Structure formats: structure tokens, C-alpha cells
Copies of this chain bind each other. A is one copy, B any other.
Amino acid sequence: MTERLRFQVEKFLTGPNGTKRARAARLELRATSPDVQWLPIETPAFMPVGTSGSVKALTTDEVSSLGAKIILGNTYHLYLRPGHERIEKLGGLHRFMNWKGAILTDSGGFQVFSLSNLNKVDDQGVTFQSHIDGSTHRFTPELSMEIQRSLGSQMVMAFDECPPYPATREQVSRAMKRTRDWAERGLRVELKPHQARFGIFQGGLYEDLRVESAQQITELPFDGFAIGGLSIGESPDMMQKMAAYSAPLLPFDKPRYLMGVGRPEDLVEGVRAGIDIFDCVMPTRNARNKQLFTSFGKINIKNTTYSDDTKPLDPNCQCETCKNYSRAYLRHLFISGEVLSARLNTLHNLSFYAELMRQMRRAILENRFDDWAKSFYTQYHAKSFEK
């Protein structure tokens, strides 16, 4: 069998009782082009979300210029439009969207539950109605694999059932059982030789169920593992606590992925707990909705404070937005509904996230993560930005 993924922990930090915590690693995924064999990704890493075959508002050249080596594509969206078979016929998702890095595709499960109407789950799969035109569709673990095979992503996620929050112990238990059955069914579907597989475990906010689910999933032959079922409505504190509890339940020598997380603080705490990769729509979606992240905290660019402010958005940032435009201009673009607003804001927010990950990696490698985190929080919460 072809080797589909390489993962090497370069450095890890230990907690008070010798527990292994934050780590810097090198993840390598198979290239789809014949020119290169492996696509290296330095972790901890954040994956920008490219829902429908586009990291919203940016070209792939720009995404790449931010240092992103891997992006996320959504199986649910691409299945509905333009269709996975079409994308495969057009040469796969990489070629379709002109992306030369790696791609992770989710399983479609989460979107089926959260975006579609009238979904009905049974032990065999999920029937749902498209959020686009109301048409009826059905996802099974097998179809999810087939779609992801057509898309040709490097990282294929298992089709899981994510119970809602809040959920009873019984609901979480049942979803866990299905998640394990579906993981096994998905593993029986052959993928392309370059595609690595990630398992997802559940367990909600029940520690003992987390232990059980992690055990069930990690004994299956996956190349990496993801913590599912978090960041779905619980408090940030509960999320961070359960992520920190969950990370060590996963094998040390395989990549760990915390799905759908999160705010800058959540990334810091996730990394501290030993998570390697993250994804979230927050930097891109919030950019289009006036919220920008800076080293001095998050700001609302619509605020009149910025009307006459000639300073760059974040004087500590090296992105094209901060190098070329003033806060006053960014405010004007947002207020005027200019397309450029979405672009410049997205570029900045993703740049901020990328720099945050780079800083954390450096701090781990230099054995000063806790100090770094402390000074990050001090500045991020200082609210000194407006002055």
C-alpha cells in the first residue's frame, strides 16, 4: 500500500506531571501533480475554509501567499453545486479551483445536520433537503467517501454523526455508536492512492463517552484523528476544556485535528493542549461582517472611531491590507458595501491567523510557549487598540 501521510513531531512540551502538551510537527501529504511527491505542512496550522471551491473573496495565489499549505473544501456544498462528478470530470477539485496546495474535505455530515432542511437520520445514513433548491438527497458513509474520492482531497474525513448541543447522554451515545459503524463502513470504500483518511470521534461533553469514542475510533486504521462535536453552541470555556481533555486521548504519533475551531484564544488553548490542525469560517466570515482580528484584540471596522484614522489596521501586521490601506479607507469600503472590503478584510484576518500559528510554532520550538501565550493574551485583551 502506498504511504499516504507522513507525520513527525519535531518538538513537544510537557505539562506539570510529565503529560505531553503543545507540539510542533511536520505533516506531509501526497501531491496530486506528478511534479512533486509530498506537500509539507508545518504544524500547528490553521486551514482556511474554501466552502464552495473558493476561499471567499481571495484567489488561490493570495491564499498561498499567506503561507497556507492546506485548505478545507465542503463535501456538502460541492456535491450540491457544481456536483462531485462534474468536478472529477474537470480534473478534480485542485485543478478546478487552481489550488496547488493540499485539500482536506469534510464528510458533509455536519452541514447535512446544520444547513439542510428536514434531515432524517437512520442507521444507514441521512436523508436531507438541499438548502439551495429543496431537492431531496441522501448521504451514506459510502457516498461521502465516493464524493471525497471524486473531489480528490488529500485528507478525507470519515462520515460521522455530530449530536447537537445540548444533547442527552443517550443521544450522544447513539451518535457515537453510529459514528463508529459509519467509520468502519467508510473504511471499506477504496480511495485514490494519494488520499489519507481521518477518523472523527464524538462524545459530546461527557468525559467518559469521549474516552470510549476515542478508543473505538483510534483502533481503526486511520491516518489521523479529529475531535468532532465541539464548537457547536457550548461555551468557549466548555469547548476549550473538552478539547484539552480530548487531545491526549488521541495517539501521539498521528496528526490531531480540532474541527470548526475557532477564535484566536481557542487556537492558543487548542495548541497548548496538543492539537495540530484547525479550521474555522471565523476569520473569513467575520471579515465580510466587519469584524477584524488584530494583535490588540478584535475590532468592528464600521465604528465611527475609524472615520478619520490614517493608521494601518494593525501596525504589527505585514499583510497587503495593512501595508497599503488606512483604517479610514477600510471603514469607508465596508460602509459603502464595496466588494474590495470583503477582499482586504479577509486577507487581513487570514493573515492574522497564519501569523498567530507561526508564532505559536516558533514558541514551541524555542520552548517558551507559556510565556508567549501570556504576552499574547496581555496584548490581545489590553483593548489598547482604539487609542
A53 close to chain B: CB less than 8 A: yes
Question: Which residue of B is nearest A329, CB measured?
Answer: B96
How far is it, in angstroms, between the C-alpha of A34 and the C-alpha of B269 when the chains are bound? Answer: 50
A310 close to chain B: CB less than 8 A: yes
A307-B56 contact in complex given A98-B325, A324-B98, A325-B98, C-beta closer than 8 Å = no
Residues of B close to A166: CB separation below 8 A: none
Contact B56 A328 (CB under 8 A): no
Residues of B close to A340: CB separation below 8 A: 54, 56-59
Q: Which stretch from A4-12, A83-91, A104-112, A367-375 is at the chain B interface?
A: A83-91
How far is it, in angstroms, between the C-alpha of A343 and the C-alpha of B56 when the chains are bound? Answer: 11
Contact A333 B90 (CB under 8 A): no
A39 close to chain B: CB less than 8 A: no
Taking a contact as CB atoms closer than 8 A, the residue among B89, B308, B325, B339 that contacts A343 in the complex is B339
A90-B343 contact in complex given A52-B338, A338-B54, C-beta closer than 8 Å = no
Residues of B close to A53: CB separation below 8 A: 329, 332-333, 336
Question: Which residue of B is nearest A57, CB measured?
Answer: B339
Contact A310 B98 (CB under 8 A): no
Contact A89 B333 (CB under 8 A): no
* Interface bits A300-317 vs B (CB < 8 Å: 1, else 0): 000000011010000000
A382 close to chain B: CB less than 8 A: no
Taking a contact as CB atoms closer than 8 A, the residue among B97, B325, B329 that contacts A329 in the complex is B97
Residues of B close to A307: CB separation below 8 A: 82, 86
Q: Kindly identify, within residues 70 to 124 of chain A, every residue whose CB is under 8 Å from any CB belonging to chain B.
A: 81-82, 86, 89-91, 96-98
A354 to chain B, nearest CB (A): 19
Q: Kindly identify, within residues 29 to 69 of chain A, every residue whose CB is under 8 Å from any CB belonging to chain B.
A: 52-54, 56-61
How far is it, in angstroms, between the C-alpha of A343 and the C-alpha of B58 when the chains are bound? Answer: 9
* Listed residue (A61, A90, A333) with the most chain B CB atoms within 10 angstroms of its CB: A90
Question: Which residue of B is nearest A337, CB measured?
Answer: B52
Taking a contact as CB atoms closer than 8 A, the residue among B91, B310, B328 that contacts A310 in the complex is B91
Residues of B close to A54: CB separation below 8 A: 333, 336, 338-340
A31 to chain B, nearest CB (A): 19
A175 close to chain B: CB less than 8 A: no
* Listed residue (A91, A97, A288, A307) with the most chain B CB atoms within 10 angstroms of its CB: A97
A326 close to chain B: CB less than 8 A: yes
Contact A332 B56 (CB under 8 A): no
How far is it, in angstroms, between the C-alpha of A333 and the C-alpha of B310 when the chains are bound? Answer: 34
Residues of B close to A335: CB separation below 8 A: 81-82
How far is it, in angstroms, between the C-alpha of A223 and the C-alpha of B81 when the chains are bound? Answer: 54
A342 close to chain B: CB less than 8 A: yes
A97 to chain B, nearest CB (A): 7
A59-B329 contact in complex given A90-B310, A307-B82, A324-B98, C-beta closer than 8 Å = no
Contact B336 A90 (CB under 8 A): no
How far is it, in angstroms, between the C-alpha of A329 and the C-alpha of B81 when the chains are bound? Answer: 11
Contact B59 A343 (CB under 8 A): yes
A304 to chain B, nearest CB (A): 11
A326-B52 contact in complex given A82-B307, A332-B81, C-beta closer than 8 Å = no
Give 11 new A-B contacts, CB below 8 A, not counting A59-B340, A339-B343. A53-B332, A53-B333, A54-B336, A56-B339, A59-B320, A59-B324, A59-B344, A81-B332, A81-B336, A91-B310, A96-B328
